Structure formats: C-alpha cells, structure tokens
Structure 1
Amino acid sequence: MRKPPAPAAPKAHTLTRRTVAVGLAAGLGTVALATGASGPVLAADEPLKVGFIYVGPVGDFGWSHQHDQGRQGVEEALGDAVETTYVESVPEGADAERVLTQLAASGHDLIFTTSFGFMNATLKAARKFPNVKFEHATGYKRADNVSTYAARFYEGRYVIGVIAGHMTKSNTIGYIASVPIPEVVRGVNAFTQGLRSVNPDATVKVIWVNSWYDPGKEREAAETLVAQGADVLTQHTDSPAPVQVAEEKGIYAFGQASDMTQFGPDAHLTAIVDDWRGYYVERTKAVMDGTWESTDTWGGLASGMVAISDYNPAMPPEVVEAAEAARAAIESGELHPLAGPLRDQTGQVLIADGEAPDDGALLSMDWFVEGVQGQVPK
C-alpha cells in the first residue's frame, strides 16, 4: 500500500540477460512492437515479457528495492525464457495508467503494479488489454486478468515488538509512520502488542511523515523521537534515515523491508524483510504454462513472504530466544499478533479475549491499541 514521493519523471529500464535499457515512460520515447486489439502478439520462441512499475526509486533500500529484488529473482530463476522491464518513481494516477498502457501495448504479457495507489490505473489498463495478466500489490479490486497480493507485515512487527520490549531501557519506543492506512495502523498495533507482551510499561510514540519515502522527513521524525526519550526506533517508511539516526545517537533501530545493517551496524537489531521472489517466480511460471488465474494472496511468516533478517550480536541469547518463540508461534498459528483482549487507547475492549480479528477487520483497522501515544489522522 504505497504512495509516491514528490512526483518525478518516471524512469524505465528493460533488463535482459544482456542488461539493455530502453525508454517506455512518458517523455522517454516508445518501443514499437506488434500488438493485437486486446494484447500483445508474440512469436512462440520469444521470451515472456514481464513488467514492473515502482512508486519509488529502486535505490530506496526499502519497498521498491525489495520488489526489484523479486524482479531480479525472476531473471535468475527463468533466465532467457523471460525479459523483464521496470519503471521506477511512477506517480500514482494518470502517470501510472499511461506507463501501464505503454507496457501492455509494447508486448508485455504480465505486469506487476507494486503500490496500493496504482489500483485504479491497473483496473483501467486491464480493461483495455484483457489478454495481458496484471498483478496488483496490496489492492483489493480484482478482475479476470487482475490478481492481488500482499504480505502480512504485521506478523513480523509483533516479533520486533517483542525484541524492543526487552532491549529498551527508557520504555519509550519511537515509531516513524508513513501514511494513515490500515496496513500501517495494524503494523503499529501489532508492534505494540508484541512490545507490551513482555514489557507492559513500555509505550510507543508515533510520528506521521505522510510519505513512504522522504529521507529528510524520516530523519527529522527520528531525531524528534530521540529527543522525546525514545531509545529504540522502528519505522514503516522506506529510507534508512531512521537507522542512520539511531547509529549516530547510540540507540537501537529496526530496518524496514530489507536488511539495513549497513546503515547502522551497531544500531540495527534486525529488520522485517519483504521477500517477493518466490511469488514472482511462481506467478510468472503460471503465465508461461497457461495455469495463471486471478487470485488473492496474503502471505506471512509461514509462507516466507515476510522474513526476519539476522539478529544483531548485541541481542542477549534470551532476547533471541523470545523473538524466535514468537515467530514460531505465529508461523504455527498458535499466536495471532492481534488476538484479544485488544483494547483501544481509551481502554475499551474491541476484540474479546480468545478472539482474533478476521481479515476484514484487519483490512479496515483505523484505531490504535492501548499503549500507543499519537492519533490516527482521519
């Protein structure tokens, strides 16, 4: 569920085994390939063309970076049988629809659209090109040629919450939040539940930056949280700026979407890693062998779509053991990160003891649990 940084001209790249770049986006020219009225016409011996559009730069070391790692996984797994294209820093709205139309018209058989805000553009392009398969990340609207997929990041956030509860001394955790959508809200809540499961006195201070990728705002928010007493930082934003601040201040932090150890070797405790490789390879193979169908996928720790990176050696063995126990319980289904009793910030029980929210409740979550300082903007 991604929103773009400040709009910039999209950059398009076609990568084959020879790494050749061509322009596809607005202002970068076009590629002339034979197309039919409803989709590309390809020779039998041509590679399957797979396109990806990203809301941020592949160098964000977060969300878009990890999707591009998945694209590279398709190249590595399927070799010369595929040719992949990616377009980075695509603003949501008309620009996204234009880029998707260009990709579909230029011979791409399968297109992954990797931001929640690309949803309507994906549906519009899919209607124009019914023979092209589309995969939309974190969306909920499907069609015969549109699938949706997402990851249960909140499962990983519970695990790092457990770690934070053990590692904090101030009992104040700083949380840099991106935009107030259910994905982010339930992540804050799951983190807080994990935190308070081992340290009931700890609280979470949230600062919203209203962007998925803005290193300047992320740094400012991190510094503000440290000034307010936070000795552990976590984030649902995509740059490594908060980890860098933690390294400078001598405190701890968690990476987002990818292992960010390189940006704070002493500070970085671990990271929630988005691993799209398996899904991208599987869905590309399904197009190749004719078994692709419109589906909805929401994978978590058990599926490998969400992973936890290596632990910092600074973590005592008992903290590693607690984190691993939480992860194993979530993977087995024994533990739901947002199981009741779940209280809101006023103390009212919204999820009863022994119950767990269904997917509908998770996908519409717009309230914070007890222990969170800050509000969900309306």
Structure 2
Amino acid sequence: MFSCKLFGAVAGVAVAALSATGALAQAKDKIKVGFIYVGPVGDHGWSYQHDQGRQAIEKAFPGKVTTTFVESVPEADSERAIEQLARTGHDLIFTTSFGFMEPTLKVAKKYPNIKFEHATGFKRAPNLATYAAKFHEGRYIIGQIAGKMTKSNTIGYVGAFPIPEVIAGINAFYLGAQSVNPDVKIKIVFANTWYDPAKEGDAAKALLDQGVDMLAQHTDSPAPIQAAEARGKFGFGQASDMERFAPKAQLTAIVDNWNDYYVERTKAVLDGTWKSQDVWGGIDSHMVVMSPYKNMPDDVKKLAQETEAAIKAGTLNPFKCPVIGQDGKEIECKGNGALSDEQVLGMNFYVKGIEDKIPQ
C-alpha cells in the first residue's frame, strides 16, 4: 500500500543489520503499542490525527493489542518519555514529531528488541523505521485555490519552524498559487511552536493585518483559520478537517491519514514480519486526503479536483522542473523531470517570487 524508499548510508547499515539478527522477526500473540505526541490529543490537528490512528489499531486488533500514549511532550525533553514507554513493556513505539528524531534513535539503540517508528525523520536503525506523508502535494492544491480566489493578490502562511518539511510546504503552496495567478504575493510568519493557539492566532492576525485574504498554516491548532473566519477571510484546515471550527472560512483541509499505516505496521509486529524501512506516502496512497471542497466557485472546485486527480495519477508533480530559487537561479533537477525526493525532504530555500527570508 505504501511506497518504501531507503536513503543513503544510514539505510544501508540498517538493511545489513536486519539480515544479521533474528530478534526483529518473531511473531507474537499480544503486543503493547505506545505513542509519543508533541501536542495534546485535543489539538484537533496533528496529534489528534495520530491518535485517530492509535484508535484504529485498537479497533483492528481487539484483544491482541493494547495501546498507550503520552501527550504534550516537549521535543527537547522527549527522551525520558520515550524511555518510559521502552521500560514498560511496549513492543512498538511511534514517536510523532521531527524533533523526536535524535532521542528516538538514542533510545532505540539501548533497546534493540523493541521496534521504533519515527514520523518525519530521516535517521534509521535495525529497529527504527521512519515514515512521513507528502503534505506538499495537498499544499500545491490549496495554493491553486488561494491563487484563484484571492482578491488582494496577497496570501499568507503561518509556519511552525523553518525546517525542510515546512519550507517545502510553503514553496508548494506558493507555486500552486503562482501557477494560476502570476501576480500573487505571499507573506509568511513563523509562530516558533507546533501547538500554541495564542501564538498561532497572533501570527494569523499579523498576516491578516497586512492584507492577506487567504490563509494557510503549518501549525496544529484551529486558531489561524478561526482568525480568518473572524475577519471574513478564507483559510485551510491543517492535518485534520477543521470545518467545525470555521465553517464559513474553510475551503478544504489537508487531512493526514495515518490509520492504514499504523494498522499495517502493528500487524507486521504481530506477524513477525516487521522490518526497518522508510515510507513517504502521498495522495496516491491515501496518506494525504483532501477534505470536501467548499465555500468556493464551481470552476475553482473543478480545478482543485482535477489537480488532485493529476497528482494521484502521477502526471503532476508540485516540484516539476525547472524550479527557480529565490535568487533567480535554476535548482539542479536530480529527479525524473522534477526535484528528487531527497531535494524535497532537505529543502532549505524559497522559490522565486517569495520575498521573505528563511529565519536562521
């Protein structure tokens, strides 16, 4: 169901080590699965959606799987929480934020018989797999919607931190808007948090004060889209469908669907077939889902649906070459007619037309 890719020397070491140990391939009758969340399960965004996946595991394996979770874990203090799960009989542990990468790797090395999975990271080990979703595919779609519907030609983006995943999302959003509206401009504010409704709301208001009438976000609470609705503007849900928080403002939402992946990987532990791997699923594998298109003209809805279908079919890539950097120079195209996966996953530049600078 999911596409797997193993990058670089780290992956090679992982594969070699896997073949040298049988400890990772033992079937079990019952297992315990744990989750570490960066925000509260009630954030109605990122952590909420991961917790939907945890609940899907319980429904899929009644009597065979027990799940637990630790919420609102600061990235800088996550090692203790991960180790706590490792010490309390968990067979499989999912850590679900980029900043959990190094702590997860450290704990995984101490507990070689426990399986670990880290969301949005790139470091693996014989007992540590990684997984993420191609959120940028959805952001290209919402960029087109924003580009078609903006009246001010000024669209906005609330980012969490200037890491490659967020930068790639900003670029895809802007490229989508630019593809239908060459005059569009984008303004960006970083909230420097994944989940803090007050800070997220303040960032959104700052953008709206600058004339933004289309607001996207890569933070976890509904605060930005609620700010858009309060001003009579439009926005997009993030990670979960946020329509209930802003029914007049939400045009669509990029929904992270972890359910199938979590069920599949739990089954692999039960079956004794689990292996370290890297998965990057998108619209085609249903890991990225667009919520219903609403509050928009029929022609814009039709465009969004056609773009979604083209991405799913593999005929449209948001980072199709040539991609021009902010400095006006063409980015070397290392993929098959588009930027390579590695280039997208490590993106550290803005595309041409974005006037903001990436914070250092």
Inter-partner Cα distance in structure 1 for 2:177 and 2:102 = 37
The residue type paired with residue 141 of structure 2 is V
The residue type paired with residue 72 of structure 2 is S
**Which of 205, 218, 221 pairs up with 1:236?**
218
**Which of 334, 337, 342 pairs up with 2:323?**
342
Shift of 1:373: 3.0
Q: Does 1:295 align with 2:277?
A: yes
Inter-partner Cα distance in structure 1 for 2:59 and 2:353 = 45
Overall identity of the aligned pairs, in %: 59
Matched with 2:106 is 124
Matched with 1:205 is 187
Inter-partner Cα distance in structure 2 for 1:257 and 1:242 = 13
Matched with 1:81 is 64
Inter-partner Cα distance in structure 2 for 1:248 and 1:125 = 45
Inter-partner Cα distance in structure 1 for 2:83 and 2:64 = 23
**Which of 296, 306, 311 pairs up with 1:330?**
311
**Which of 336, 349, 352 pairs up with 1:367?**
349
Question: Displaced runs of 4+ in structure 1, greater than 6 A?
Answer: none
- When residues 241 and 194 of structure 1 are mapped into structure 2, their CA distance, relative to the original with a 3 A threshold, is same
Shift of 1:247: 0.9
Inter-partner Cα distance in structure 1 for 2:183 and 2:190 = 23
The residue type paired with residue 35 of structure 2 is F
CA contact (8 A) 1:345 1:371 kept: yes
Larger relative contact order (Cα-Cα within 8 Å, sequence gap ≥ 6): 2
Unaligned runs of 5+ in 2: 1-22
**Which of 290, 298, 302 pairs up with 1:317?**
298
TM-score, length-scaled by structure 2: 0.90
Unaligned runs of 5+ in 1: 1-38
Inter-partner Cα distance in structure 2 for 1:246 and 1:210 = 20
**Which of 161, 169, 186 pairs up with 2:151?**
169
**Which of 58, 63, 66 pairs up with 2:46?**
63
SS in 2 for 1:278: helix
Shift of 1:201: 0.8
SS in 2 for 1:99: helix
Inter-partner Cα distance in structure 2 for 1:253 and 1:213 = 18
**Which of 127, 148, 155 pairs up with 1:145?**
127
Shift of 1:348: 2.2
Higher helix proportion = 2
Shift of 1:253: 0.4
- When residues 144 and 268 of structure 1 are mapped into structure 2, their CA distance, relative to the original with a 3 A threshold, is same
Inter-partner Cα distance in structure 2 for 1:86 and 1:342 = 41
* Cα displacement string for residues 62-114 of structure 1 (whole angstroms, at most 9, x for unaligned residues): 11111111101111111221100000011224x32222222112111000011
* Cα displacement string for residues 302-346 of structure 1 (whole angstroms, at most 9, x for unaligned residues): 01111101111x211111110111111111111110112222223
Matched with 1:17 is none
Matched with 1:248 is 230
Matched with 2:209 is 227
Inter-partner Cα distance in structure 2 for 1:61 and 1:260 = 7
**Which of 15, 40, 49 pairs up with 2:32?**
49
TM-score, length-scaled by structure 1: 0.85
SS in 2 for 1:349: coil
Give me the CA root mean square deviation.
1.8
Matched with 1:159 is 141
Inter-partner Cα distance in structure 2 for 1:101 and 1:186 = 32
* Cα displacement string for residues 13-37 of structure 1 (whole angstroms, at most 9, x for unaligned residues): xxxxxxxxxxxxxxxxxxxxxxxxx
* Cα displacement string for residues 89-144 of structure 1 (whole angstroms, at most 9, x for unaligned residues): 11224x32222222112111000011111111111211221111101111111111
Inter-partner Cα distance in structure 2 for 1:68 and 1:267 = 26
Matched with 2:248 is 266
**Which of 263, 285, 290 pairs up with 1:281?**
263
SS in 1 for 2:331: strand
Inter-partner Cα distance in structure 2 for 1:55 and 1:238 = 10
CA contact (8 A) 1:343 1:351 kept: no
Inter-partner Cα distance in structure 2 for 1:252 and 1:336 = 25
Inter-partner Cα distance in structure 2 for 1:306 and 1:79 = 27
Inter-partner Cα distance in structure 1 for 2:114 and 2:238 = 32
Shift of 1:351: 4.7
Q: How many residues align?
A: 335
